[in-house]
Each structure stands twice: as structure tokens, then as C-alpha cells.
Amino acid sequence: MMTPEDGFDARLSTAFEKADALIEQDERFTQRVENKLGNALNPRLMVVGGAGASGSALAASQLERLAEGVQFNNAILIQIFDTLGTQSIVAIVFALMAGSFAAVLQGRRI
């Protein structure tokens, strides 16, 4: 049996249904959200990115010292080392680290 409360519930639901029907689908709204997603800079991503980049820079600054103390037995490695020089090798290692870091961040939503 339908109670007076049920009757008012139904009336209220109908009222909302009709009022909400006035709010139409807005394609521009979807577009605006999609555009904002492209531009949105996640503050956490920036903090983590900044910390990671600083860590990479610190690590790379120690690489040159480490590389200078290394003695290679392999002739190919010795040749590469002599041709490129310590600084170039450190730069390459640093670029690889930064590239890997960027690749990981790109695929992750933090």
C-alpha cells in the first residue's frame, strides 16, 4: 500500500527529474575539461619530478670521481674511455638517467 510519504517521495523525484532535465548536455564542458587535463600541472608530480632531477644531478656529480678511479681491463672499454673522455661519459650516463626518469614519470599518474 502506498503511504503519503511514498507519494511525496514520488512527487519529489519527479520534480528533480524535470528540473534536472533543464541542465542539458554541454559539449563545450567536456572540451574544457579535456583541455584542462592537458594543461594541468600536478603539484605532486612537480615536487617528485624536482626531487628526482636533483637526486640524478647529485648522483651524476659523483660519477666523474668514480669514473676516474676505475681501471678497465677490456680493450674496447679503454678505447671508448680514451676517445670520449670522462666528462662525455658522465654526460651520457646522466642523460640516460634523466631520460629513464622522464619515461617512467610520463607513464605514471602520481
Partner 1 sequence: MAAHDLELAALVAATGDKHAFGQLVERHQTLVRAMLTRITGNHALADDLAQDAFIKAFRKIGTFSGKGSFKSWLCRIAYTEFLQAVRKRKAALGAMERYKAHQEIEHSEAKWDSGDAMDLDRALAQLSEVERSLIVLCFSSGMSHAEASEITGLPLGTVKSHINRGKAKMKALLEEKEAVTV
Query: By C-beta, is 63 or 105 nearer to partner 1?
Result: 105
Of 12 and 102, which has the nearer Cβ to partner 1? 12
We find the least distance from the C-beta atom of residue 70 to partner 1, in angstroms, to be: 40
Three-state SS sequence of the chain: CCCHHHHHHHHHHHHHHHHHHCCCCCHHHHHHHHHHHHHCCCHHHHHHHHHHHHHHHHHHHHHHHHHHHCCCCCHHHHHHHHHHCHHHHHHHHHHHHHHHHHHHHHCCCC
What is d(CA 50, CA 57) in angstroms, rounded to the nearest whole number? 11
The contact set with partner 1 (CB under 8 A) reads 5, 8-9, 11-16, 18-20, 22-27, 29-30, 32-34, 36-38, 40, 42, 107, 109
Q: How far is the CB of 52 from partner 1 (least distance, A)?
A: 19
Q: Between 15 and 102, whose beta carbon lies closer to partner 1?
A: 15
CB of 98 to partner 1, least distance (A): 21
Give whichever of 11 and 65 is closer to partner 1, judged by the CB atom. 11
